[in-house]
Structure 1
Amino acid sequence: MCEIKKNFVSHDLVHNLKCASRAPRVRHSMKATKTWPGARFMCVGKNGDLNTAAYCLAELMHEPFQPFPMATVAVHYSIKDDFIERLRSRFRQVKPHVANHPNYERSLAELQYGLRPYKYVLADVADAPACASPILVTGNDTHLIFPSGASGATTLHTFRAIRDVAQIFSKETPPFDAVYYFDESVVDIYVLAPLVKCVQFFVNCMDACLVEIMPHYMDHNPMAIYKRGYHYETLEMRNEWKIIVFPYSSAILRQCCCPTGHCRCYATHSACCEDHLNT
């Protein structure tokens, strides 16, 4: 008689799934922080995919105190209102560890009761109360209006030319670890990259696994690689080495499965969850 394998998918496993153990509790730090844990910068061009950009930004705005938060977004002036509307429609009530975080509380108080009026957007009251909503500051203000450390809010700026984005980048206070750029053309990223102090640039994608290009970056070797639907490139710009990544496939591409900003693939000489992909 054949022995049933442990990973056999039975009828009950599909239709009567039962949880045998509780999910592990995640402890969130509720102490005031004075640092930015690897802040991210997003730029959305006038020909960018607004829905994808708004979805990615909204997801990160719901967890502003996790490592690698989205601190600032720059959008082309012609799409500002449209983008804000799409983003706000994706706002939901943040979890208690966010709403009760001292940094979040002090930022919201500054916006609501500060010495001068600020322009900011919260979720619709049907989606979340004002005291537990993602916060988008829309008046071209920088994070200098808040005390030091992760603010719990995202600042939005508008630009007309790509060089304006570099100025926005330099005026903001968080030390940005990566730039996400959404636009149909990838040409402007080669204009922006040498103007800002940042290494990683992701075009129309989020945190792709860098295992293929990392050895070339570490050796300061200019290289372009096509792997798993992505174009990976490392090159020197104004005496600084940059990594630029963008998808060349129309298929839905998965992110690296390692925790955001903590890719271990290079150290383990593997490509995490995508080992089975050969394209």
Structure 2
Amino acid sequence: MANKSVPVKKVLSPLQPAITSDMVNKLQQTPASEAKISGSVASAWRSPQLMIVFEDGDLHSARQHLLDSLQNPFAEGAVATVLLQESVRDQFVGLVAQNLKRLEPQVAGHPSYVRTLAQIELLKANVIKAEGDVPADASPLLVSDFVSSYLGQPGPTGAITLQTFRTAREATLVNLKESVPYARVSIWNEKLACAYEVLGHLAVDTFTINCFNPDLSPIRSAFEANQNDVCLFKGYHYETLTVNFKRRIVVFPVGTMFAN
């Protein structure tokens, strides 16, 4: 028999521990998040994600999930754009840069990646690449201050764009320049109120807070039925609600609630 989600009122306890590393590092994974590298898919975005990292977020966990996308930018569910709060930009970029590795041949030889390298050279763009002996034409690419449309034709470019913001509201304004059809927004901020502030300003259905690619099946039926609902499942809080006349899904580790 399939597991059923449990209503919040039957599960929450004042003794619930604060967020733990297991909650963000050993996530439930949807089949889409397990996509393998493909050198033949580049004509359309495959459920791209927007990542927003605040100064109060877990930078190390956010970095780990961004690294996965940098190493495999053509995977389904990969991050296409990352927005960093100005106060932690240098620290976060440094954490990312020191962990970049040489790309797999399927990615480095991908036509879209090759075209993006040429476009970056033309634009003289500021790019964060792998350090050490990784060849420039086989490095993950984090491109600062350019939107994806400048890097190539519509669809994944093989690079992730990086923008900086100061406030939650400014983060949503910065992203209005992007034309990427995001499927999810991954927000990294221990302050839930600040994270919820973003919901009403982005035209995306699904928001995950302090986690990446969690299983959405516990809340899917309520969302599709256009009904408000809240439940807990395997240590995650799920809810679907209407914000600015648009239905949303919000997911975060249960401990996040007690850390605020």
Residue 122 in structure 1 maps to residue 100 in structure 2: no
Cα distance in 1 for residues equivalent to 2:43 and 2:243: 32
Residues 221 and 28 of structure 1: CA distance in aligned 2, closer, same or farther (over 3 Å): closer
Separation of aligned partners in 2, 1:170 and 1:27: 30
- CA deviation string 1:27-62 (max 9, x = no partner): 965447332111110000011111111111011111
User: Contact between 2:184 and 2:204, CA under 8 Å: does it hold in 1?
Assistant: yes
Taking the aligned partners of 1:27 and 1:176, their CA distance within structure 2 comes to 20
Q: Which residue of 1 aligns with 2:147?
A: 142
Using the TM superposition, give the Cα deviation of residue 73 of structure 1 relative to its aligned residue in structure 2, in angstroms.
0.2
Identity %: 29
Residue matched to 2:207: 201
* Equivalenced residues, count: 221
Distance in 1, matches of 2:188 and 2:41, equals 32
Task: Report the secondary structure of 1:205's partner residue.
Answer: coil
- Deviation string 1:236-279 (CA, Å, 9 cap, x unpaired) is 011110000010148xxxxxxxxxxxxxxxxxxxxxxxxxxxxx
Conservation of the 8 A alpha-carbon contact between 1:54 and 1:87: yes
Amino acid at match of 2:237: H
Any idea what SS the aligned residue of 1:35 has? coil
- 2:55 matches 1:52: no
Q: Deviations over 1:224-247 (max 9, x none)?
A: 112211110110011110000010
Pairing 1:84-233 to 2, within 5 Å after superposition: 84-112=93-121, 114=122, 116-126=123-133, 128-138=134-144, 140-148=145-153, 149-233=155-239
Letter in 2 for 1:203: I
Equivalent AA in structure 1 for residue 127 of structure 2: Y
Map 1:241-260 onto structure 2 (within 5 A): 241-249=247-255
Would the aligned equivalents of 2:41 and 2:74 in 1 still touch at CA under 8 Å?
no
CA distance 1:29–1:216, change in 2 (3 Å)? closer
d(CA) in 1 for partners of 2:73 and 2:100?
A: 13
Q: Which amino acid aligns with 1:234?
A: T
1:230–1:246 Cα contact (<8 Å) kept: yes
SS at match of 2:200: helix
**RMSD of the alignment, in Å?**
1.7
Structure with bigger helix share is 2
In the alignment, is residue 73 of structure 1 matched against residue 104 of structure 2? no
* Residue in 2 that maps onto 1:39: 48
Distance 1:70 1:102 in 2: 19
Look up the SS of the partner of 1:171 in the other structure.
Answer: coil
Structure 1 spans left out of the alignment, 5+ residues: 1-25, 251-279
1:92/1:134 contact within 8 Å kept: yes
Alignment-derived partner of residue 70 in structure 2: 61
Q: Distance in 1 between matches of 2:128 and 2:214?
A: 30
1-structure distance, mates of 2:132, 2:216: 40
Listed one character per residue, the Cα deviations across residues 181-239 of structure 1 (whole Å, up to 9, x for unaligned) are 11111112221111111011000011111222112111111121122111101100111
Report the Cα distance in structure 1 between the residues aligned to 2:235 and 2:169, rounded to whole angstroms.
Answer: 29
Contact persistence 1:224–1:234 (CA under 8 A)? yes
Structure 1 segments of 4+ aligned residues over 3 angstroms from their partners = 26-32
Contact 1:111/1:118, CA 8 A, preserved across alignment: yes
**SS in structure 2 at match of 1:195:** coil
- Structure 2 unaligned runs (5+)? 1-34
Q: Which is further off, 34-43 or 151-160?
A: 34-43
Residue identity in the other structure for 1:74: L
Q: Secondary structure at the match of 1:212?
A: helix
